[in-house]
Chain A
Amino acid sequence: AQSVTQPDARVTVSEGASLQLRCKYSYSATPYLFWYVQYPRQGLQLLLKYYSGDPVVQGVNSFEAEFSKSNSSFHLQKASVHWSDSAVYFCATGNYKYVFGAGTRLKVIA
């Protein structure tokens, strides 16, 4: 069965610092992987996606993620965070039926 683990429920970083949000997946075949962001009282917005090919994928707002088959991971990264990046981030996997991680709440402080 598919599963997604986001080991960090909350992450706090300083504005301008780099960021990594971790995601581990379990899937029998080559997975489709996604990162979504949820701002307060809003729906989920797609940040980036991985289907195949180059393991480093670029997304919106300077986010990127790296797929690692050997580590079963799809970590989200950003070189320099802004206060507006404060939100909840979800990793998901699936082939039309998604499985979501529990989410990581990111807080960016001045």
Chain B
Amino acid sequence: EAAVTQSPRSKVAVTGGKVTLSCHQTNNHDYMYWYRQDTGHGLRLIHYSYVADSTEKGDIPDGYKASRPSQENFSLILELASLSQTAVYFCASSERTYEQYFGPGTRLTVL
């Protein structure tokens, strides 16, 4: 069974609209992460969290908010979606400094 799941798997949003991407993990990991992947590029870290009710900024946090209401759940929020936020978004979890386990990704298209 998949240990990191994401919903939705695909979404089309309008410019200026609000988008929420959800991630759920059953690994019992403390750390969770949100990355974006653009065509031809590697993954870049947006936000991460190492404990419930707390989030930290990653390398490219502008335009994104995150929420970690429980150990298992981590959401990425785009308050005002823009064309430049069209990308594939991946959630991951890890046991502190150990390897990360990734979800299947959410393909977001902003029109």
Contact = CB atoms under 8 A, between A and B. Distances in A.
The range of chain B's interface size is 20 to 34
Contacts of A9: 40
A43 B104 contact: yes
Contact of B102 (A32, A44, A49, A101): A44
B97 A42 contact: no
Contacts of A98: 33, 43, 45, 100
Interface in A90-107: 90, 92, 95-98, 100-103
Contact of A32 (B43, B97, B101, B103): B97
Contacts of B44: 100
A102 B105 contact: no
Contact of A96 (B97, B102, B105): B97
A96 B96 contact: yes
B43 A100 contact: yes
A47 B101 CA distance: 11
Contact of A43 (B48, B50, B94, B102): B102
Interface of A: 4, 9, 32, 34, 36, 41-46, 49, 90, 92, 95-98, 100-103
24 contacts: A9-B40, A32-B97, A41-B105, A42-B105, A43-B4, A43-B104, A44-B43, A44-B92, A44-B102, A46-B100, A46-B101, A49-B99, A96-B48, A96-B94, A96-B97, A97-B58, A98-B43, A98-B45, A98-B100, A100-B44, A101-B42, A103-B40, A103-B41, A103-B42
